Amino acid sequence: MRKIIVRDTRQIAPFNEPARDLRVMNKPLWLWQRDVLTRYCQEEREVASLSQVPTDAVETLVYRDNLFFDQPFIDAFIAEARRQRKPVRVAFSASDGAIATHALPLNNGFEKHDNLLLADLWYYPFGVQPNPRPLVIDTQPREVGYYHVPTYMSTEKGELVFQLPLRAFLPIEHWIHVHIANVIFGLFTVGARYEQTVKGPGMLVFLANMRILARALIEQKQVISCSAVVKMGRNVHIDPTAMIQGPTVIGDNVTIGAGAVIDACHIGSNVTISNGCCLMLSVVSDGCFLPFRAALFETTLMENTIVAQNTCLQMCVVGRNSFIGAGSTFTDFNLLPTPLRALYEGKLVPTGMPVLGSCVGHNCRLGSGLVVYPARMIESDVVLFASPERRVVSGNITFEQSDHHKTRYAHLHPRLYPRADEIEAEKQLFLAKKRERQKARAGAG
């Protein structure tokens, strides 16, 4: 099968990068898509728009490159599409719990058609043809509450509830979608599938459970901590006093210190998690460093990021090559019962989530002791010093508001991730200077 990837060049704030370059489950989204489709697609092409999709009479899969989808979803979609042997476009019921609850807010990636929601994923058995019919895929959502909380933390129910899809699909158009793809549609969904597997009926499930139990007995560990549910790479050093519970994945060359607690996480390679750190339902990408007593809860760290000691991040996303200073706290709950809103297309829009942390872009440097309010954004390349006026971050921070501009050393922290308007302005300035030089040469001649 040939796959045609339609490029989506829109930048995701505050990273100022397209979705395809952001990390999901410790992989760039484009690499995640490629790995999921490896078993089906032998040829790959990229186009700038749908009008450029080739019309050769070959089996073709077309999708936009800001889509997150997992293996069970793609397997179900392609199996049903091949069975019908007609051009189809993926669709969802408007009442699908996972899509309606987690995918629709802050998202223009769905096209409404009657009671269906159409997305940018097509299958053509004999080349691209007009008017593909909708193919409805059930994400098989499961309502799961992670923990019980007092009723004032939720306006509708006494506990925080997620709609977990056993087949995950999500267009990424906002940093909150990166959080959802990694945590709710990622780690939580992996746990839901594992629970479904061990609790399902049948002799095969019984035998699988016996193998897990035998592994735990041989290793003299609890079932949830044995190597059947905690997958580790090579050259991993774990202090005997650390506690690790699955389902958890740990990459190569990882060091985990004394007293660390890791619960249902995805840890990349070359990661150091020092003494007393606590990680729950979090994704820590390659090359990250967590000194002692750092805490992550439902948080995603992209590659080569440092979260210093005594810092707590809850339901946050942090970009690559960033530093979060010691003793900082990223809060996730509005003290007054007002809806959490996030900036989307220039407006503050309700997120649809009762609790939510904040987002830090790429190449940021944040000083010690900061308190960050929920649903805030700190743009890429920002530096925030620990000072009385910066102790509490109550609003979004842009690059122009970065503290390093106030110093004579601003040139030491270059702009690596400019916004699209900055790139265009720089391009126009370059062209103007080029025209001036051409006129000067013509006049001298």
pLDDT at 302 over 80: yes
pLDDT at 338: 82
Average pLDDT over residues 271-276: 96
Are the CB atoms for 370 and 403 separated by under 8 Å?
A: no
The rounded percent of the chain whose pLDDT value lies above 90 is 67
State whether residue 283 is helix, strand or coil.
strand
Radius of gyration of the chain from its Cα atoms, rounded to whole angstroms:
24
pLDDT at 200 over 80: no
pLDDT at 155: 55
Average pLDDT over residues 246-250: 91
Q: How confident is the model at residue 445 (pLDDT cuts 50, 70, 90)?
A: low
Average pLDDT over residues 107-132: 92
For the chain, the average pLDDT equals 90
Decide the pairing of beta strands 141-148 and 159-165: antiparallel
Q: Which residues pair with 45 in a beta bridge?
A: 4
Average pLDDT over residues 3-24: 95
Laid out side by side, the sheet with 266-267 consists of: 230-232, 248-250, 266-267, 283-284, 300-301, 317-318, 359-360, 377-378
Per-position DSSP letters for 59-116, written without gaps between them: -EEEEETTEEE-HHHHHHHHHHHHHHTS-EEEEEETT-HHIIIIISTT----EEETTE
pLDDT at 390 over 60: yes
Contacts of 109 (CB under 8 A, 6+ apart): 64, 66, 67, 103, 119, 120, 171, 173
The size of the chain, in residues, is 445
Its pTM surpasses 0.85: yes
pLDDT at 76 over 90: yes
For the stretch 137-164, pLDDT in tens is 999 998 887 556 666 665 554 457 789 9
